Amino acid sequence: MANTPNYEVPGEMRDFAEKSVDQARKAFDSFIGAARRTADTVQGSAEAARTNAQDLSSRGFEFAEQNVNAAFDLAQKLVRSKDVQEAMQHQAEFVRTQFAAIQAQAKEFGGIAQSAMQQGAERAKSVMQESADQARKAMEQGADATRQTAQDAENATRKATS
């Protein structure tokens, strides 16, 4: 077997290596923390979108039920009408009230949809800004750690060669 020289790593170099690993771990932990917070926020956005979709669906069924009930009420009035003139009055009244009801329903439905879209857009903007800020901070920490490590390595090398 070849006899290899016994080279002892200076304490400063070991300290430097340990510090470098700690700094890298801190930078990585910061980055992962930012990524997790972003994922949680995105999940919250998806939940809000689901809730808004459920609200729209529920309200749509309520509108449909109202409109069908109005049609049944009209049918009942029509079969009880004494003559054609009374039937025509019921029909005209139904058309006026249903036209107004459908306009109100459309306005409400549009407002709900617009509000949901606006909330989603605002939340998405907020998530993106927060994610960008957190990523920038993590990268800055990593760059600072790298600069410090390089400086520490240079200092350790100078001490070791002195």
Task: Give per-residue pLDDT as tens, 110-136.
Answer: 888 888 888 878 877 887 787 778 778
What is the pLDDT averaged over residues 81-109?
A: 94
Range with lowest mean pLDDT among 46-60, 68-82, 109-123, 141-155? 141-155
Determine the pLDDT at residue 2: 60
pLDDT at 76 exceeding the cut of 90: yes
What is the pLDDT averaged over residues 66-87?
A: 94
- Kind and range of the H or E element at 104? helix 84-161
Rounded distance between C-alpha atoms, residue 97 and residue 64, angstroms: 15
